[in-house]
Amino acid sequence: MLGYMKKIGLTGGIGSGKSTVAGMLAARGIPVIDADQVARDVVPTALPELRVVFGPDIIAADGSLDRAALARLAFASPAATEKLNAIMHPLIREETERRFAAAQAAGYATVVYDMPLLVDLGLDQGMDEVWVVHVDPEERVRRLIRRGLSEEDARRRMAAQIGDSQRNAAADVLLDNNGTLADLQRQVEALA
């Protein structure tokens, strides 16, 4: 019989260091399910239906998805966004569940779900533990600018997510990433 597998939901605001923590955990042999990656991986499966609903303009010359074209059409109105979600969400949910099941079948005791919108979407409820990576907003803006975003874009994206206090309140474990990467590494090592 397979033992119980602990599900850790890893989240944090944009630019907080989720991917950095996920990388540290993966280096320690813990499997990580990357929600952004899942959303990208189901695109080929969704493509025929997206084409039917949004038209041939969303397909690039090489047959792949033209993301900018889809975004223009799908975010033009709430009804269009609803149609996009109706296609993507079930595929994403299915693929995510398949990856959890695969980790369980492989016998892992712990799996990490790296999901930026974990608390925003209420998915923290399905986790055994919620880890939130926290960085003060002004430091996040600085790091996002260093990564190539404009200050305006960084602030706009941060404002589109739930607030830090609400996200942090959902945390079983709060990782403080205001310091150095070595500081963060020490916190992760103490936990996993």
For residue 86, the SS3 value is helix
The residue count of the chain comes to 192
For residue 20, say whether it is annotated as part of any ligand binding site.
yes
Residue 147 CB, nearest approach to ligand ATP (Å): 4
35, 84, 119, 184: residue in contact with ligand ATP (rule CB under 6 A): 184
Instruction: Tell me how far apart the alpha carbons of residues 80 and 38 are, in angstroms, rounded to a whole number.
Output: 22
Residue 101 CB, nearest approach to ligand ATP (Å): 25
Which sign, positive or negative, has the C-alpha torsion 67, 18, 168, 9? positive
Query: What's the burial of 20, exposed, middle or buried (CB within 10 Å: 0-12/13-18/19+)?
Result: middle
The smaller minimum CB distance to ligand ATP, of residues 96 and 177, is found at 177
Q: Is residue 174 a contact point for ligand ATP (CB under 6 A)?
A: no
CB contact at 8 A, 191 and 25: no
Residue 11 CB, nearest approach to ligand ATP (Å): 9
Binding residues for ligand ATP restricted to 20-79, rule: CB under 6 A: 20
Instruction: Tell me how far apart the alpha carbons of residues 87 and 66 are, in angstroms, rounded to a whole number.
Output: 16
Binding residues for ligand ATP restricted to 134-173, rule: CB under 6 A: 143, 147
Site string for ligand ATP, 85-124 (x = CB under 6 A): -------------------------------x--------
Residue 133's closest CA among 22, 5, 35? Answer: 22
By CB under 6 A, name the binding residues for ligand ATP: 12, 14-20, 116, 143, 147, 177, 180-181, 184
Question: Annotated binding site for ATP, which residues?
Answer: 15-20
Annotated binding site: 15-20
